[in-house]
Structure 1
Amino acid sequence: MTDAKEELATKVDIADWLSLRAHLERGGVIVVDPLLELVEVGAALAADEVQAVQRWLSSSLLTKPSLEQVKKWDAEKGKIFNCLIVSPYVLIQEPVNP
């Protein structure tokens, strides 16, 4: 598992909402709550860890973007996210400001 996490950690990137929005149309965008580590979630999805993923979904720590979020992000020019592709999903997380 550690090797998978290390590999995924090298794939975390930064993208603006406009670039990510295309993935929204096909239902592939998953919003990761800042309480979770993006790489940990990606590794759990890649390893098909159903219990962990279901726990996060039921706790609303993993969600599809809401209509309100999409409208807000559409209005924010240059809105940036940390992102990680774990096909067929694109995990996105708002950067935490220090």
Structure 2
Amino acid sequence: MANTDLRVQLTENLDEAEWEWLIPHVQRDAVILVAVELDLLDVGVAIASDNTLKVQTWIDEALITKPSTAQLGEWNTQHTKRFNTLIIQPYVLVQEKAAA
């Protein structure tokens, strides 16, 4: 039941952000990139509920990572690039949105 409540609560925190809004969070090393094949809410619930086994599996499969230097460089040239975001203190989970 707790995870259901947590999922509902986190749904309210789902948002969309432009790259420029995320830069300060990258600078404090708080951005976690979530692969598009994962559900952002599933990842948020797993992190918030300390499901270390599931989170570690995603890390091992490189489905959740820190943004690479190459990705950061690419995003810095696309200031209007948009991401789906979910804040799980102290982290900001981000997922690339397909270009419209």
* Same fold (TM > 0.5): yes
Secondary structure, in 3 states, of the residue corresponding to 2:36? coil
Partner of 2:76: 74
> Equivalents in 2 of 1:6, 1:35: separation in Å?
21
> Residues 55, 17 of structure 1: CA spacing in aligned structure 2 closer, same or farther, 3 A cutoff?
same
Per-residue displacement from partner, 1:12-42 (whole Å, max 9, x unpaired)? 0001111101001111000000111001100
Is 1:86 aligned with 2:52? no
Instruction: Give the conservation status (yes or no) of the 8 Å contact 1:34–1:96.
Output: no
Q: List runs of 5+ in structure 2 lacking aligned partners.
A: none
Report the CA distance between 1:3 and its aligned residue.
Answer: 1.0
Instruction: Give the conservation status (yes or no) of the 8 Å contact 1:30–1:63.
Output: yes
> Equivalents in 1 of 2:40, 2:71: separation in Å?
19
> Equivalents in 1 of 2:86, 2:37: separation in Å?
16
Is 1:5 aligned with 2:10? no
Is 1:29 aligned with 2:31? yes
Read off the aligned partner of 2:83 and give its amino acid letter. Answer: F
Report the CA distance between 1:97 and its aligned residue.
Answer: 6.1
Report the CA distance between 1:96 and its aligned residue.
Answer: 4.1
Partner of 1:58: 60
Instruction: Give the conservation status (yes or no) of the 8 Å contact 1:31–1:91.
Output: yes
> Equivalents in 1 of 2:67, 2:52: separation in Å?
21
Partner of 1:40: 42
Identity of aligned residues (%): 41
Instruction: Give the conservation status (yes or no) of the 8 Å contact 1:30–1:89.
Output: yes
Per-residue displacement from partner, 1:40-98 (whole Å, max 9, x unpaired)? 10010000000000000000000000000000000012111000000010000012469
Read off the aligned partner of 2:27 and give its amino acid letter. Answer: E
Matched residue count: 98
